[in-house]
A and B are shown apart, each in its own frame.
Chain A
């Protein structure tokens, strides 16, 4: 079986993660920030799957954990978009810097 070295998986995973993190930090649009968070989650998923394959455990615990991450990510997107919609109704913008009514 053709084997891709583990390092390549880690490299792709790190790249995805930092692209996501950079997106969270620099973008203002709440929807885009949510998408970037998804990107970071999936970077973590990729690393989990890669490690799971490599360590060839009897029970693929890493892969199972990814399923949990999917479920939680789906829930997170649902809640996140609901918050964005609610905020949009209150004030017609999705720019996070302009939503600062709760700042002390």
Chain B
């Protein structure tokens, strides 16, 4: 592919969604209305095809292509271009983002059909895709930061999409605040990078990584990782993601599962050359990732809202990805990112289909027995669920297994990460099975809802089927054979390989994790299908543990009381200061002018004689003053 074609395609990829946003936001409300969905989907299709074109055109190429659009900032040595880095990593992300977004746009045309904010939805959604593409295509940290902030904004707008209700408002604010903390960290990291390396372009920074002291480099990486914990919902900033489920379900699928939340993983993987030299920073990433994976999986065990189960599962899976980056296996992390995008988008869209069928009911305690009513949704979600539970040969198995295996092969105590990862895998399988069983099997718990349930229209089921194919096959197609599949050969040139692969040990490890997954599934089936042990009795027996999990480890409450409380006091104080001093000063000043004006107005009598008298008096005064001054000389 010659450079001009590449340039054109690389420009089309982000600009098509931006154009759809511009058209829909300006003409959507009064003119286009339901055409907005078609426009956005068509733009996404164009974008996805262009991204595929880039992939096919650059397959043989190993070095990164830089497509510079224009010079953005040029002040002395501070030179920033708006330019895209087209390499294997960004191409992979572009493909995931555009294709999954396209499917979700199509699905949304059915899901959002009766919503009065239809045009608004199809304005924000392509805008989000645009910013996400800027984030993954940027060739420097500042442009990446633009995308980073942009997706945060769109996330806020879409979580608070139904802003007439208080809960989405609160959730949107929470997401924004949590992300601000992370963004602060990312920004500090970027500033430190510029001060240290004198550039923000990836290729310059990574080429000069040796000149930084290791303590400084560790600090940079930790600040960047703080940004990643905000965007990718890791401890300590993960609490916004479950609340973000107040947004429409396609938003949860696209932004809060498949794409935006993976931005942190992508950024960390992109910064691998920095992290690789930063010693302790990688260990921090691995520990945080693992802890988040376990914590979120345990909370997911007791959630009753179908979307919240998925949300905690997303947090948990993102933890796995960070574990992958942390143990020095960014390829495995990116692989899991890609497969996760398929099956988690599928699961969210499937639960959206269930919610749609039940007229907005999200509580699994009111579901049950929906399998015959929603056959397509059931079968596709079953595939997605088994992929999430990492049952071979579905997608999740290959990628997740590779992450935990990488931890095991690292040795030196990293085997613990493997053990925790495999145990968490069993928990994952348990809550997935619980979710599927409570929704689709057993006796219907709400007769009324059950009677009125209906399968979703074809515009919604077709994306489900497409994603189910991806969730079933992506792992095998991209990752077979283990550690030498297509994704490894494709991303391989970007990352240094750890060591040669020992297939015999992989087979043993893979069997162990597959058994763990099946055990989790079986235990959930016994508990919820056979009621041996009865779930209510288990909850009563382990009452303290159950309460702890239902209350989400009291982390939300802790933040609310201790952290948010201090901020609330600060905000109250500054509000009072604002009222008393700043507003007070301005109001007094304005009142002074008002009184002055009211009194001065009396001079304007409208009687010409008065004005003439004033002129004469003034003349006399000037004459007298002149005469007096002359006489004094």
Identify the A interface with B (CB < 8 A). 21, 24-26, 96-97, 100, 102-104
**B607 lies within 8 A of A24 (CB):** no
CB atoms of B609 and A25 under 8 A apart: yes
Determine the chain B residues whose CB is within 8 A of the CB of A103 once the complex forms. Answer: 606
- Please determine whether B606 and A21 come into contact, CB atoms closer than 8 angstroms: no
In B577-633, the 8 Å CB interface with A consists of 604, 606-609, 612-613, 616
Can you list 10 A-B pairs, Cβ within 8 angstroms, ordered by A?
A: A24-B612, A25-B609, A25-B612, A25-B613, A25-B616, A26-B609, A96-B608, A96-B609, A100-B606, A104-B606
Knowing A96-B609, A97-B609, say if A104 contacts B616 (CB, 8 Å). Answer: no
Inter-subunit contact A100/B612 (CB<8 Å): no
A100 contacts B609, C-beta separation under 8 Å: no
Please give, as numbers and ranges, the residues of chain B lying within 8 Å of A24 by CB-CB distance. Answer: 609, 612
Return chain A residues, CB-CB under 8 Å to B604: 104
A30 to chain B: closest residue by CB: B608
One of A21, A100, A102, A104 near B607 (C-beta < 8 A): A100
Kindly list chain B residues whose C-beta atoms are within 8 Å of the C-beta of A25. 609, 612-613, 616
Residue of A nearest to B610 (CB): A25
Docked complex Cα distance between A24 and B614 (Å): 12
The B interface is mostly helix, strand or loop, or mixed, namely helix
Chain A residue at smallest Cβ distance from B607: A97
Give A99's nearest chain B residue, CB to CB: B608
**Alpha-carbon separation in the docked complex, A80 to B609 (Å):** 16
- CB-CB under 8 A from B613, the residues of chain A are 25
Q: How many residues of B contact A (CB 8 A)?
A: 8
| A13 → chain B closest CB, angstroms | 14
Q: Which residues of A contact B612 (CB under 8 A)?
A: 24-25
In angstroms, Cα B607 to Cα A104, docked, is: 11
**Closest approach, in angstroms, between the C-beta of A103 and any C-beta of chain B?**
3
> Which 10 A-B pairs give the minimum distances between C-beta atoms?
A103-B606, A100-B606, A25-B613, A21-B616, A24-B612, A96-B608, A25-B609, A25-B612, A97-B607, A25-B616
In angstroms, Cα B608 to Cα A104, docked, is 13
Chain A hits for B609, CB < 8 A = 24-26, 96-97
User: Chain B: residues with CB nearer than 8 A to chain A?
Assistant: 604, 606-609, 612-613, 616
Q: A96-B608, A100-B607, A104-B604 are in contact. List 13 more A-B contacts (CB 8 A).
A: A21-B616, A24-B612, A25-B609, A25-B612, A25-B613, A25-B616, A26-B609, A96-B607, A97-B607, A100-B606, A102-B606, A103-B606, A104-B606
A29 to B226, CA, bound (A): 86
Chain B residues with Cβ below 8 Å from A100 are: 606-607
Residue of B nearest to A102 (CB): B606
Cβ of B605 to closest chain A Cβ, rounded Å = 8
In angstroms, how far is the closest chain A Cβ from the Cβ of B42? 60
CB distance from A68 to the nearest CB of B (A): 22
- With both beta carbons as reference points, the residue of chain B lying nearest to A21 in the complex is identified as B616
Q: Whose C-beta in chain A lies nearest to the C-beta of B601?
A: A104
Residue of B nearest to A101 (CB): B606
Within the assembled complex, what's the spacing in Å between the Cα atoms of A26 and B608? 11
A90 to B303, CA, bound (A): 86
A25 CA / B611 CA spacing, docked (Å): 9
Note all chain B residues with C-beta closer than 8 A to A96.
607-609
A97 CB contacts on chain B under 8 angstroms: 607, 609
Give the chain A neighbours of B616 by CB distance below 8 A. 21, 25
Instruction: Report the separation of the CA atoms of residues A26 and B613 in the bound assembly, to the nearest whole angstrom.
Output: 9
Residue of B nearest to A96 (CB): B608
With A and B bound together, what is the CA distance between A97 and B609 in angstroms?
Answer: 8
- Whole-angstrom distance between the alpha carbons of A100 and B460 in the complex? 76
B155 to chain A, nearest CB (A): 55
Closest beta carbon of chain B to A5's beta carbon, Å: 20
User: Bound state CA distance, A100 and B612, in angstroms?
Assistant: 16
Identify the interface centre among A25, A96, A97: most chain B CB within 10 Å of its CB. Answer: A25
Residues of A within 8 A of B608 (CB): 96
Bound-state Cα–Cα, A96 to B608, Å: 8
A55 to chain B, nearest CB (A): 20
A18 to B604, CA, bound (A): 25
B602 → chain A closest CB, angstroms = 13
| B598, chain A: closest CB distance, angstroms | 15
Residues of B close to A102: CB separation below 8 A: 606
Question: How far apart are A91's CB and chain B's nearest CB, in angstroms?
Answer: 15
CA distance A54 to B607 in the complex (A): 41
Shortest A8–chain B CB gap in Å is: 20
Using CB atoms, name the residue of chain A closest to B605.
A103
The smallest beta-carbon distance between A14 and chain B, in angstroms, is 11
The answer for the CA separation of A9 and B607 in the assembled complex, in Å, is 34
B617 to chain A: closest CB distance in Å?
Answer: 10
Most buried by A among B604, B607, B608, B613: B608
Q: Output the least CB separation between B604 and chain A (Å).
A: 7
In the assembled complex, the CB of B8 is this many whole angstroms from the nearest CB of chain A, namely 64
Q: A97 to B612: give the CA distance in the assembly, Å.
A: 13
Bound CA–CA A24/B604 (angstroms): 19
A71 to chain B, nearest CB (A): 24
A100–B604 CA distance with the chains assembled, in angstroms: 12
* Smallest beta-carbon distance B606→chain A, Å: 3
B9 to chain A, nearest CB (A): 66
**Measured between C-beta atoms, what is the minimum distance from A73 to chain B in Å?**
18
- B24 to A: closest C-beta gap in Å: 49
* Distance (whole angstroms) from the CB of A65 to the closest CB of chain B: 20
Contacts of B607 in A (CB 8 A): 96-97, 100
Chain B residues with CB under 8 Å of A104's CB are 604, 606
A57 to B616, CA, bound (A): 32
Min CB–CB distance B102 → chain A (angstroms): 65
Nearest residue (CB) in A for B609 is A25
Which chain A residue lies CB-closest to B608?
Answer: A96
A97–B605 Cα gap in the complex (Å)? Answer: 10
A48 to B377, CA, bound (A): 107
Whole-angstrom distance between the Cβ of A102 and the nearest chain B Cβ: 8
A52 → chain B, closest Cβ, in Å? 22
**Distance (whole angstroms) from the CB of B611 to the closest CB of chain A:** 10
Which B residues are CB-close (under 8 A) to A21? Answer: 616
Closest to B613 in A: A25
Which B residues are CB-close (under 8 A) to A26? 609
Shortest Cβ gap from A57 to chain B (Å)? 24
A45 and B78 alpha carbons, distance in the complex (Å): 74
A25 to B613, CA, bound (A): 6
Find the B residue at minimum CB distance from A103. Answer: B606
Complex alpha-carbon distance, A31 and B273, angstroms: 96
Q: How far is the CA of A91 from the CA of B171 in the complex (A)?
A: 71
